[in-house]
Amino acid sequence: MTFLAEARLANVPWAALDGLGPMLAPALEAILSGQSAETVLDRVLRAHRHLSADQRRVTAEALFGVGLWRRRLRAHAGPDAPPLVLLGVLARDLGQHRAVSLDVTLPSPAPPPDDWRDRWSIPDWLADVLHRVHGPDAPLAAEALCRPGPVTLRANRRVTTRDALAHALADEGRRTAPARLAPDALHVTTRPANLTATTAWQRGWFEIQDEGSQLLAEAVPARDGDTVLDLCAGAGGKTLALASRLPAATLHAFDTDRERLSRLRARASRATARVHVHLALPEDLRVHHVLVDAPCSELGALRRGPDLRWRLPPDAVTRWPPAQRELLRTAARHVLPGGALVYATCTVTPDENDAVVTSFLAEDPRFTLEPVSLPLCTPDGCLRLSPHVHGTDGFFAAVLRRAA
């Protein structure tokens, strides 16, 4: 059986590799040594602007593909196989291209590995995490992390609807399909789409945002007219999702990264959303609801960075809980009686999710766990999203209600 994660590689123009070996070898070596594939790719494409469209595409697929599939490729070619041999195996066996021209000798073709960690190119420590979280479905979770996530839009309810946005984009040659979970989400099916060149983008009709991230904003139990603080706002994706859903709400946003807050201001202006952006969090600020989208290991977004699993240290899942608990303490000081604190992450580990919530509730008895008011709420009252089940990035959310 050919899985989706493998099948997409058959559509890559691998014949365009001919003659690119000398350029790709040092780039692949850099990635296998720990450099970001995205950074290396950008550097290569800037240095070789003469490449054709097919050559540019195959360069990207080569760098990202070897970066992602290195464990599987080494299981076949050997742990010390040169980078171009790994690329040749990628193109021949996963890409189904039988005439690889890289001037290297490849091992004989072999069937996919039986060990799911090898097959889906998962580090041992990450395989342990997936098994702990998903049990017997761990191989399915691993396979989903090898598929690129869709490009998803969120329609800005302040100025349009999802259907109107879809029609407007179709008029400009961009095809979309409604997402099945988030009410304002559209998956883009045209490639490449060049979305920022559309009239809809210029008018502020949409933001690019994963469907799971949109659902986190939906999980905030706010009514229009409430006050809401996004404590870890970043560049404002969830802040603007709240502004779209709650046009009469008073929104506050804070983050320690001022550059990202600057981007939030620009995005809010384009979306016609009014957001109070704070460079310093006012001690006396009190709101009905606080969203804490806490920094984390980001394991839920691994499909967005093909080589990220190989650059994360094994302690990635244990380094964040102290900071996450401190953020909850800070957030609790700003929640009005009767209000709610929503704790969210883009990871799937119990260490960063359940354990942090349990610790906080034991420390502050004013708060109790309240079921997330979404159909996807799990029996324990939380929101848990994963790529292999929901098609979204991996997310967690819990609603913690303060006593009145």
Q: Give the active site residue among 232, 296, 346, 382.
A: 346
Quick one: three-class SS letters along the chain? CCCHHHHHHHHCCHHHHCCCHHHHHHHHHHHHCCCCHHHHHHHHHHHCCCCCHHHHHHHHHHHHHHHHHHHHHHHHHCCCCCHHHHHHHHHHHHCCCCCCCCCCCCCCCCCCCCCHHHHCCCCHHHHHHHHHHHHHHHHHHHHHCCCCCCCEEEECCCCCCHHHHHHHHHHCCCCEEECCCCCCEEEECCCCCCHHHCHHHHCCCEEECCHHHHHHHHHCCCCCCCEEEECCCCCCHHHHHHHHHCCCCEEEEECCCHHHHHHHHHHHHHCCCCEEEECCCCCCCCEEEEEEECCCCCHHHHHHCCCHHHHCCHHHHCCCHHHHHHHHHHHHCCEEEEEEEEEEECCCCCCCCHHHHHHHHHHCCCEEEECCCCCCCCCCCCEEECHHHHCCCCEEEEEEEECC
Active site residue 296: no
Question: Which residues belong to the active site?
Answer: 346
